[in-house]
Structure 1
Amino acid sequence: MSLVEIARYHDVYEADLAAAFLASHDIEVSVTERFQTTVDPLMQRALGIRLMGRPDQAARARDLLARAGTGEFATDEGDDLGRPDATVRTASRGLALFAFAAGAGFVGTSLPRRFSAFQWAGMAVVGTVLLLTLVLWLVGILNA
């Protein structure tokens, strides 16, 4: 049986989401060019990711995708996540800064594992800031 193109996407994740949506409506599709575009992500824009399906289901599939694009299947609950509180944001920024200063970009590579003077200085600065933040936070808790 020959397959026809139902839709074309520029992102493999968007194509997978559309395929899952159609599968939930009993329409069988396949995502093509997945392997070529994951080896070289720049090829996603060049080739496009196609949803291929049976000719007898193509019209219904295109109609469902068009209706989903207009928001017909959206729910009232929304899909936005709330912002994390200030403590979580501060801690994550501190960890990211520490990882950058400690040279976390070299973990898992074949590059030498020695720290440079710049990285030691960065770790010292980040460690001092984190220690002072912890002390101030504990003093605030004890005085409250």
Structure 2
Amino acid sequence: MSLVEIARYQDVYEADLAAAFLASHDIEVSVTERFQTTVDPLMQRALGIRLMGRADQAAQARDLLARAGTGEFATDEGDDLDGPDSTVRAASRGLALFAFATGAGFVGTSMPRRFGAFQWAGLAILGVVVLLSPVLWLVGVFSA
């Protein structure tokens, strides 16, 4: 049984996806150059990732990949994932603001461990926002 090149990709994940697609249609393929390219990702573009399969199934495999490329197997449900809800976004913004204001991004570096004027100003602004947000929320609740 001789193996022939069915397709060539520049990304190992795309090659794995194509291999899984072909396996779902009972076509056995193997992804080559996986280990060389995952050790050094720049090698993916230099070497390319090849799908190798049996010679008697090569035409059928290339036909399936061409049909998949045109969108023949697409479903109506779409590929979009729901984004994070507003509470997750607000929490992540708050953490990012806190890290920026307090200089937490410099932890573990050779930077001095004391706050500078910029960090104290940021921490003061953050404190005012944290202290005023429940008051503003209560005013909004009782005025409505």
Q: Secondary structure at the match of 2:79?
A: coil
Q: Secondary structure at the match of 1:73?
A: coil
Deviations, residues 107-131 of structure 1 (Å, cap 9, x unaligned): xxxx56974535x927726853762
Q: Measure, in 2, the Cα distance between the counterparts of 1:62 and 1:52.
A: 11
Q: 1:115 to 1:57 in 2, by over 3 A?
A: farther
Point out where structure 1 has 5 or more consecutive residues left out of the alignment. none
Residue equivalent to 2:52:
52
- The count of corresponding residues between Structure 1 and Structure 2 is 139
Deviations, residues 66-100 of structure 1 (Å, cap 9, x unaligned): 00000000001111124444443232233344455
Identity fraction in percent: 71
Point out where structure 2 has 5 or more consecutive residues left out of the alignment. none
TM-score by length of 2: 0.75
Q: Measure, in 2, the Cα distance between the counterparts of 1:133 and 1:56.
A: 72
Residue equivalent to 2:127:
128
- Which range moved further: 133-142 or 41-50? 133-142
Q: Measure, in 1, the Cα distance between the counterparts of 2:107 and 2:14.
A: 29
Q: Measure, in 2, the Cα distance between the counterparts of 1:87 and 1:127.
A: 18
Structure 1 residue runs of 4+, over 3 Å off? 82-88, 96-101, 111-116
Residue equivalent to 2:38:
38
Pick aligned residue for 2:105 from 103, 112, 115: 103
Residue equivalent to 1:94:
94
Q: 1:15 to 1:130 in 2, by over 3 A?
A: farther
Q: 1:3 to 1:99 in 2, by over 3 A?
A: farther
Q: Secondary structure at the match of 2:74?
A: coil
> Are the equivalent residues in 1 in contact too, given 2:98–2:123 (CA < 8 A)?
no
> Are the equivalent residues in 2 in contact too, given 1:94–1:130 (CA < 8 A)?
no
Q: 1:138 to 1:49 in 2, by over 3 A?
A: same
Computed over aligned residues only, the root mean square deviation of the Cα atoms, in angstroms, reads 3.1
Q: 1:47 to 1:138 in 2, by over 3 A?
A: same
Q: Measure, in 1, the Cα distance between the counterparts of 2:85 and 2:26.
A: 41
Residue equivalent to 1:79:
79
Q: Measure, in 2, the Cα distance between the counterparts of 1:84 and 1:4.
A: 44
Residue equivalent to 1:10:
10
